[in-house]
């Protein structure tokens, strides 16, 4: 931690949105994979929808990442040494390792997406159809999930491993908070897209709610750790527009309200919220995840 460290000047509409879309994509992919692996075939609807979300959402992110560079046309230097052309990796830099993880995750998300299209008969592509067996699909999903966890979390580690006071003092909790937020926003995105695709998600709603209850409690615990950790630099989280984003957007609307609604339905013995309420809560979770990323990114640069 050092009060004199320079702010990088990352824009919320590039890097903040990248953190959000990367988290939604990775969170959806992970849930789709785990639901497929451990759901015993009952959750084909969840995993198919998850893989339809993961790749298109990820496609939004390269323009955001390249757009924030001072020299956008040199983006390939992230992967290849500019002088020798050999692949370049700096293990002490989350940004360097994250670039490679993004390539790996993108490849797996693409394969799972294509696999989905072939499996649902929307794409008739002979080479892919021949390879369409259960084993490679599970390999993509397992490798992609490991890379997906990395994508969900490294953005928080990237902020923590700097000398900016707010980011350094909240070390080591932002990475874990971003993973939890990726999980809850990914689940919310899957639920909404299932509604939109008219795959009736009523039987799965209870499972989404159970997942939300656990993850939202984890998010609250990590948010408390972050506010305590920030200590005397927590002031930037209590003043100005980013304080409103963090407390009203991310914590109240994005976490406490959905958790309270979830808990109320669970405790009152109905086990389920009504569907319009569940849809509204899914939108609030997505909004909260976005404002969480933007507020922590921007407050750290004040």
Partner 1 sequence: MPKGMFVDTTICIGCKACQVACKQWNVLPGEPADFRTDPAEKIPVAVNFTGDSYDNTADLTGTNWRRVRFIEQFPENRVGGRWLISSDSCKHCNDAGCLNACPTGALVRTDLGNVALRQDVCIGCKYCLPSCPFGVVAFSHQTGTARKCTLCDERIHNGLGTACAKACPTGSIAYGEVADLKKKADARLSKLKSLGHEKANIYGYKEAGGLNVFYLFDDRPSVYGQPEKPDVPQGRLVVSSAVTVAGAIAVGVAAIVAFRERGQSGNEGEEVEK
Instruction: Write out the binding residues for partner 1, residues 56-85 only, by CB under 8 A.
Output: 68-72, 74-75, 77-78, 81-83
Q: Quick check: bond before 27 cis, omega within 30?
A: no
Q: Rg of the chain over CA atoms, in angstroms?
A: 20
Rounded to whole angstroms, the Cα distance separating 154 from 167 reads 13
**Contacting residue, 13, 44, 63, 90, with partner 1 by CB under 8 A:** 90
Nearer to partner 1, 221 or 257 (CB): 221
**Contacting residue, 266, 277, 279, 302, with partner 1 by CB under 8 A:** 266
**Contacting residue, 60, 195, 207, 302, with partner 1 by CB under 8 A:** 207
* Residue 199 φ/ψ region, left for φ over 0, alpha for ψ in the -120 to 50 degree band, beta for the rest: beta
Location of structure tokens 């389920």: 272
User: Does 205 help bind partner 1 (rule: CB under 8 A)?
Assistant: no
Select from 28-36, 128-136, 250-258, 282-290 the region that touches partner 1 (CB under 8 A): 28-36
User: Does 290 help bind partner 1 (rule: CB under 8 A)?
Assistant: no
Nearer to partner 1, 154 or 242 (CB): 154
Q: How far is the CB of 127 from partner 1 (least distance, A)?
A: 32
**Contacting residue, 129, 142, 214, 244, with partner 1 by CB under 8 A:** 214
Nearer to partner 1, 105 or 208 (CB): 208
- Give whole-number Cα distances, 104 to 30, 110, 116, 145, 149, in Å: 14, 10, 18, 10, 12
Angle at 175 between CA 102 and CA 149, to 5 degrees: 40
User: Does 200 help bind partner 1 (rule: CB under 8 A)?
Assistant: no
Nearest to 253 by CA among 219, 217, 285: 285
* Three-state secondary structure call for residue 199: coil
Q: Hey, which residues between 127 and 166 contact partner 1 (CB under 8 A)?
A: 149, 152-154, 156-158, 160-164
């Amino acid at each position: 931690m050092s009060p004199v460290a320079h702010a990088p000047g990352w824009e919320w509409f590039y890097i903040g949105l990248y953190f959000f879309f990367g988290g939604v994509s990775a969170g959806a992919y992970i849930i789709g994979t785990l639901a497929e692996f451990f759901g015993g075939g009952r959750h084909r609807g969840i995993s198919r929808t998850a893989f339809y979300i993961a790749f298109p959402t990820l496609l939004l992110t390269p323009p955001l990442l390249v757009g924030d560079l001072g020299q956008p046309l040199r983006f390939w230097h992230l992967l290849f040494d500019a002088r020798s052309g050999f692949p370049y990796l700096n293990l002490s830099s989350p940004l360097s390792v994250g670039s490679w993880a993004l390539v790996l995750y993108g490849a797996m998300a693409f394969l799972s997406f294509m696999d989905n299209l072939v499996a649902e008969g929307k794409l008739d592509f002979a080479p892919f159809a021949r390879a369409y067996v259960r084993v490679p699909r599970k390999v993509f999903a397992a490798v992609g999930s490991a890379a997906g966890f990395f994508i969900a979390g490294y953005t928080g580690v990237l902020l923590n491993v700097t000398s900016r006071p707010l980011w350094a003092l909240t070390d080591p909790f932002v990475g874990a908070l971003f993973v939890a937020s990726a999980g809850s926003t990914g689940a919310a995105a899957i639920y909404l897209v299932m509604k939109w695709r008219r795959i009736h998600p009523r039987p799965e709603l209870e499972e989404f709610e159970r997942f939300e209850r656990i993850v939202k409690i984890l998010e609250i615990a990590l948010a408390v750790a972050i506010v305590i950790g920030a200590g005397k630099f927590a002031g930037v989280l209590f003043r100005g527009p980013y304080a409103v984003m963090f407390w009203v957007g991310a914590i109240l609307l994005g976490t406490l309200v959905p958790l309270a609604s979830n808990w109320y339905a669970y405790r009152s013995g109905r086990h389920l919220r009504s569907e319009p309420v569940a849809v509204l809560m899914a939108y609030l979770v997505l909004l909260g995840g976005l404002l969480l990323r933007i507020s922590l990114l921007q407050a750290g640069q004040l």
